[in-house]
Structure 1
Amino acid sequence: MAGDRTRRLDLQQRSRLAGEAAAAAAEVEHALTTPADATSAAFFDVDNTVMQGASIFHFARGLYRRDFFSTRDLLNAAWKQTYFRIAGVEDPEHVAEARNSALAFIAGHTVAELEEIGEEIFDEAMAHRVWPGTRALAQMHLDQGQRVWLVTAAPIEIATIIARRLGLTGALGTVAEHVDGVYTGRLVGDLLHGPAKAVAVEALAEREGLDLARCSAYSDSYNDLPMLGMVGDPCAINPDPRLRAHARSAGWRVRDYRTGRKAARAGLMLGSAAAGASLAGAVARRRLLRGRG
């Protein structure tokens, strides 16, 4: 019992530290530096809300292609991405594993290096995965003179690139520790996930003078209820089953930009098998070429 309480307190402390670090690291982009509606803003989750799949996986795959880490690491990430897309929910065990290993593969690399590579990876693997419907919602808020922030467990550097390339105000993301511009491979607190997102939004709102009752929030995941529940206008985007049920009972808006969800999930299963075969073939070819070299 005491051990469970200690773990809960530890999680709360890590979440708060992660949220505060994310808010402190957030920089305002140039899309809307002097908003017409200064006390209202919109907050968007990224994975499966703004773009299809997990942004950290797309980023990791891009790093793999640049020989940042091993095939085994990528296959492990691929399995978690496949589960995420088919099940439509985040497994708590996967989140815990991610916390223990998150960003370890960037240890020793510089912030400048990751930012430059991140720009390339956005063009290669992320830009075409953005949901047009969600992008239109974000633009609607911008057109109304409101600021629009991404709130994601992805690294703050990647989140900021996505925000900038979409013309949004800025981003809140997971903060990786770095010393003299070089990553240590450790997180500041925890992943920006679940309760940590609410802490980050609250801290940002206080800093920017936002009235949360006049703000909107968008997510696909039940895990983001802390963030969704703190604003006056929550909306479920491509929701997982638990969030869909909660949104309906609470009278929240629901938007689903996926088409033929059941068929899509079956297709994803087949596609995942094909992707696995393709990846295995690519690995074999790489090893063969290296052997010839």
Structure 2
Amino acid sequence: MTVTAAETVRAIRAAPAGPRVGAFFDLDGTLVHGHTAGAVYRDRIRRGDIGPGELARVLLAMIDGGVLGGDPQAIGRAGFAALRGRTVAELSGLAERLFAERIAGTIRPEARDLVRAHLRQGHTVAVASSATRLQIEPVARDLGIPHLVCTELEQRDGVLTGRSTTGLLWGERKARAVRGFARATGIDLRKSFGYANGLEDLAFLGSVGRPYPSNPDPVLRHAAEEHAWPVLTLREPRSPGLWAGLGTLSALAGVNAALTAGVVYGRLTGDRQGGINVGIGLSADLGLALAGVRLNVTGAENLDKVRPAVFVANHQSTLDAVVLGALLRHDFTAVAKREARFDPRMAVISAFLDPAWIDRSDRASARHTLDRALDRIRAGTSILVLPEGTRMPTPALGRFKKGAFHLALQAGVPIVPIVLRNTGELAWRRSLIVHPGTVDVAVLDPVPTGDWTVRDLDDRIATLRDRFAGTLANWPAEVAA
């Protein structure tokens, strides 16, 4: 029997709540598409940080243990030995960089939904993997998973010894570790969930009462049929294709043509702002249509309820700019970091909107820029700010900077929160390609700032960020359903 992520989420919601129910997720091939170790080795090869001898030993161990049915622990021993003398701090930094650059974009979107559903139920959620803590921690933190059952590396004074304190948690060894974790934390495995994709996890899946082979390899799929386990199919992260590339090129051409039409309209009518408004709305609509992107907006009435206003949105993708243009449409500009001024993808839109470019490295300059933005608000122009300050590699929220909230406080205008759910899925942070699909948007009720003070600003910002996080975790359409 094959089940979807939506059906599995319903099963999770129907399961007993509380920490005695466990939810154990394999990492490679389950939470993420592909193998995190592969990203590490590709990066080391690219930087010339791995010699031919080490690479040959690791490859031979992988072939023997993973393909020829030899000792899987040999893979671990070869990998552990290669790390001898490296510091934990150094490898933690490498793991964070690789997560942002390569691994974040491989997290399966529907796996995120499953994790969120278990956390809502108060289940004890853990990553159970043969990968090391250093590999797993960035992914687990992003997904909000608090527990790790994983291969642990031996260290002395922050330096790796080239050995493991657990051995490689592969096959039965991983299953024993999960059972041990369950005993230590009071989890009832008979009521617990397990997710994995490879035959090596047959013993692990057999340890829980509710196993879900997830995008399984052919051998595990056959075993699942024999055990009458539901086979879970998770949607893969999007990868560039010909049609997406052509759609992106068409969208760029359409945006530029529409902006040009707006300029022409403004000159013919003598109404520059009217031309800008025409160009913004037309270019955003045309760009999204040609890229095959549709908008599913909740709370659209809040976009024009109060103007001028400071609109704040979370930031996952270059696609955000076009989506937000389609939403706001008229009489607005933006505050953006100075570095984005030199992004060729933003050049035409930036020239059209005339954003307030803020130099975060120069406090006096940043203050002057915000003062100019304040003057524009008082003249009737709304301001769009992305308070995270940079594109986030995943839907997880970054820290909110204060600039947008100072503006709203000083101008005495409301803040209108715009929550973007999945622009990063259609156009990942580092991708130049936009994939067709539907972007979910929630425009929340305007937040009055008349009674705000500088003293309570931090608390106000934290409360608003919590609203963003709560909306992402409990999306309006899902709550209504």
TM-score, normalising length: structure 1: 0.67
- Structure-2 separation of matches of 1:72 and 1:237: 35
Q: 1:79 to 1:254 in 2, by over 3 A?
A: farther
2:20 counterpart SS class: coil
Question: What is the aligned partner in structure 2 of residue 49 from structure 1?
Answer: 30
Q: 1:68 to 1:107 in 2, by over 3 A?
A: farther
- Structure-2 separation of matches of 1:141 and 1:79: 39
Q: 1:142 to 1:189 in 2, by over 3 A?
A: closer
- Does residue 201 in structure 1 map to residue 178 in structure 2? yes
**Residue type matched to 1:185 in 2?**
G
**Residue type matched to 1:58 in 2?**
A
Q: CA deviation at 1:75?
A: 7.6
- Structure-1 separation of matches of 2:61 and 2:34: 10
- Structure-2 separation of matches of 1:93 and 1:135: 34
Q: CA deviation at 1:103?
A: 2.4
**Residues 126-275 of structure 1 correspond to what in structure 2 (within 5 A)?**
126-257=103-234
Q: CA deviation at 1:122?
A: 0.8
- Structure-2 separation of matches of 1:80 and 1:42: 31
- Structure-1 separation of matches of 2:136 and 2:126: 10
Question: What is the aligned partner in structure 1 of residue 39 from structure 2?
Answer: 58
- Structure-2 separation of matches of 1:206 and 1:234: 18
Question: What is the aligned partner in structure 1 of residue 97 from structure 2?
Answer: 120
Q: CA deviation at 1:44?
A: 0.7
Is 2:87–2:159's contact at 8 Å kept on the other side of the alignment? yes
Q: CA deviation at 1:78?
A: 7.8
Deviations 1:74-104 (A, max 9, x none): 58868999x9xxxxx9423483441330222
Question: What is the aligned partner in structure 2 of residue 101 from structure 1?
Answer: 78
The answer to which of 157-166 and 219-228 deviates more is 157-166
Higher radius of gyration, 1 or 2: 2
- Structure-1 separation of matches of 2:54 and 2:102: 18
- Structure-2 separation of matches of 1:164 and 1:78: 30
- Structure-1 separation of matches of 2:142 and 2:54: 28
Deviations 1:124-154 (A, max 9, x none): 1111111122222222211222122111111
Q: CA deviation at 1:68?
A: 3.3
- Structure-1 separation of matches of 2:214 and 2:104: 19
Q: CA deviation at 1:193?
A: 0.6
1:101 counterpart SS class: helix
Deviations 1:231-276 (A, max 9, x none): 11000101112211121222211112367xxxxxxxxxxxxxxxxx
**Residue type matched to 1:62 in 2?**
D
**Residue type matched to 1:48 in 2?**
G
2:111 counterpart SS class: helix
Q: CA deviation at 1:225?
A: 1.3
Q: Number of paired residues?
A: 218
Q: CA deviation at 1:163?
A: 0.7
Is 1:64–1:74's contact at 8 Å kept on the other side of the alignment? no
Q: CA deviation at 1:160?
A: 2.2
Is 2:61–2:78's contact at 8 Å kept on the other side of the alignment? no
Is 2:127–2:147's contact at 8 Å kept on the other side of the alignment? yes
- Structure-2 separation of matches of 1:225 and 1:75: 29
Is 1:44–1:151's contact at 8 Å kept on the other side of the alignment? yes
Is 2:172–2:203's contact at 8 Å kept on the other side of the alignment? yes
Question: What is the aligned partner in structure 2 of residue 267 from structure 1?
Answer: none
1:252 counterpart SS class: coil
Q: CA deviation at 1:37?
A: 0.6
Between Structure 1 and Structure 2, the one with more helix by share is: 1
Q: CA deviation at 1:209?
A: 1.1
Segments of 5+ residues of structure 2 without an aligned counterpart are 1-16, 237-481
1:168 counterpart SS class: coil
